[in-house]
Amino acid sequence: MKILHIAQRIQGGLASYLEELLYYQEKSDLIENIIVSIPNTEKEYLTKNQKTQYEYHNFILRNIFTMFYFFVFCRKLIKKYNPDVIHLHSAFAGAIGRIAIITLPKNQSVTIYCAHGWSFDMPVSRIKKWLYIKTERILSIYTDVIINISKHEYNRAATEGLPKSKLALIMNGTQDIQTEVQPLNFINQTEMNFVFIGRHDLQKGLDFLLNIFTNNNITANLHILGEAVLNQNNQKSLKKQNIFFHGWQSRDKVDQFITSCDAVIMPSRWEGFGLVAIEAMKLSKPVIANPVGALSEIIQNKTNGYFIPFSETNKAAKMINQMEKSDLAILGRKARKTYLKSYQADRMAAEIQSCYIEAIRNTK
């Protein structure tokens, strides 16, 4: 098989997802060639491998001009490589990519689409939500398989009228640690430490977290990884003795931050999955999260993590201050068991490959 992956942006969870998937696709005897199209400015987030070719683009903004040029770029890619499978990632690439496919009537590729979190699941106006749903319904006609990364995402797609015959549930996974992860020396292990990992945007809810830590007497330290993806207020200007901004980090360094902290904290407003959660569980750390989207599936409150209402500042602050390092360590060990049972990457990659094979078979 020849596989073409197309994504408009990958920084954050999608980069981790692709890194896991490509690692296993590289080793597959059934996959001969892999082509990956990602932004030139984000190429450092994926490891280069022998079987994988990269086609970089510069279409990272979202406006009418970007849509047109990205559409032209996708058409050229498909015509150039004539892949067996076109795997589109996220809503923007999913929409533009499928429109490009429609305009190529001689194309025989199988079209696989993964939203990585539905646009209509966001807190948007009724008109926007209607438009997102209508767009997904129309484009599903030109899609062979729609991969959903969580039960929540699958159920939302079915509820909003996407054809069940084309929906596939393939839960996210991540590769297990190969060597012991060493903690970071500059993080004091005798103190309580939490880590936030992700984009600094509305979805990830960092504003909730900063409001809690700056307006209440929180004794724990908060380590913040990631940056704003689009234009956002500069939160780094915030000065607080127990809040530390570390920017984007390599995957190995992220593992070290998780290992060095008592828990990973996820105040997201919505989540299609929340890959950071299983990254934490893999390293025997509990997750403290809003009970939204797939996080309500992955986390069992007071078993492998805690649910906190982050929008209720005073209540959230009180709950955080009441947490004990020993209790979090116990939850972390249970979180590791959850990861081993349900969220390993080899299972995810095998199911995606089977999805490709079945889709190709069904088109013949």
DSSP reduced 3-state for 7: strand
Task: Find where tokens 């993590």 sit.
Answer: 305
Number of structural domains in the chain: 2
Which of 294, 347, 350, 354 has the alpha carbon at shortest distance from 118? 294
**Digit-coded pLDDT (tens) for 39-90:** 999 998 898 887 899 999 999 888 899 999 999 999 999 999 999 999 999 9
How high does pLDDT run on average in the chain?
93
Segments forming the whole domain that contains residue 335:
193-342
In this predicted structure, the answer to whether residue 6 has a pLDDT above a threshold of 90 is: yes
Whether the pLDDT of residue 231 is over 70: the answer is no
Q: What percent of the chain has pLDDT over 70?
A: 97
Residue 266 maps to a domain: yes
pLDDT at 235: 57
Q: Would residue 186 count as lying in a domain?
A: no
Of the candidates 265, 239, 259, 235, the one whose C-alpha atom is nearest the C-alpha of residue 247 is 235
Residue 273: Cβ-neighbour burial (10 angstroms; 0-12, 13-18, 19+): buried
CA angle 156, 157, 161 (to 5 degrees): 115
User: pLDDT at position 253, please?
Assistant: 94
226 and 198 Cβ atoms separated by less than 8 Å: yes
Give yes or no for a contact between 65 and 341, defined as CB atoms under 8 angstroms apart.
no
Look up residue 291 and give its amino acid.
P
Least confident of 115-129, 225-239, 282-296, 331-345: 225-239
Q: Are residues 351 and 333 in the same domain?
A: no
Question: What is d(CA 228, CA 104) in angstroms, rounded to the nearest whole number?
Answer: 36
Report residue 127's pLDDT band, with 50, 70 and 90 as the boundaries.
very high
pLDDT at 223 over 80: yes
160 lies in the same domain as 257: no
Same structural domain, 163 and 203: no
Same domain, 157 and 197: no
CATH (domain of 326):
3.40.50.2000
Residue 99 has pLDDT above 90, yes or no: yes
List, for residues 20-30, the tens digit of each pLDDT value: 999 999 999 99
**Model confidence band, residue 229 (pLDDT cutoffs 50, 70, 90):** low
Q: What is the pLDDT of residue 363?
A: 86
Residue 187 belongs to a domain: no
**DSSP H helix total and E strand total for the chain:** 12, 13
**Mean pLDDT throughout 87-115?**
96
CA distance readout (Å), 242 to 43, 167, 183, 193: 33, 45, 19, 9
Six-digit token pair at 160? Answer: 């909003």
6 with 74, same domain: the answer is yes
Q: Is residue 77 part of a domain?
A: yes
Pair 206, 159 in one domain: no
How many of the other CB atoms lie within 10 Å of CB of 86? Answer: 27
> pLDDT confidence of 318, banded at 50, 70, 90?
very high
Asked if residue 277 and residue 142 are part of one domain, the reply reads: no
pLDDT score for 227? 86
For residues 231 and 53, the model is more confident at 53
User: Is residue 188 a part of any domain in this protein?
Assistant: no
- Please answer whether residues 225 and 195 qualify as being in contact, where contact means their C-beta atoms are separated by less than 8 angstroms: yes
In this structure, the answer to whether residues 26 and 90 fall within a common structural domain is yes
Domain membership of residue 94 (yes or no) is: yes
Q: Does residue 66 lie in a domain region?
A: yes
Token pair 């020849």 is found at 2
Interior/surface letters 294-317, b for 16+ CB within 10 angstroms, e for the rest: bbbbbbeeeebbbbbebeebeebb
Whether residues 245 and 317 share a domain: the answer is yes
pLDDT for position 50:
79
- 232 and 211 assigned to the same domain: yes
Q: In this predicted model, what pLDDT tens digit does every residue of 161-218 receive, in sequence order? A: 999 999 999 999 999 988 899 999 999 999 999 999 998 888 899 999 999 999 888 9
Is the alpha carbon torsion for 360, 19, 148, 283 positive or negative?
Answer: positive
Decide if 221 contacts 241 (C-beta within 8 A). Answer: no
Q: What mean pLDDT is predicted for residues 99-105?
A: 95
Would you say residue 275 has pLDDT above 80? yes
DSSP string, 268-325: -S--S--HHHHHHHHTT--EEE-S-TTHHHH--BTTTEEE--TTSHHHHHHHHHT--H
Rounded distance between C-alpha atoms, residue 5 and residue 18, angstroms = 9
Whether 207 and 301 map to the same domain: the answer is yes
Q: Is the pLDDT of residue 140 over 80?
A: yes
Q: Are residues 354 and 320 in the same domain?
A: no
pTM: 0.86
pLDDT average, residue stretch 239-255: 88
pLDDT at 238: 64
In angstroms, the CA 285 to CA 230 distance is 30
The HSE-up count of residue 167 (CA atoms within 13 Å, CB side) is 21
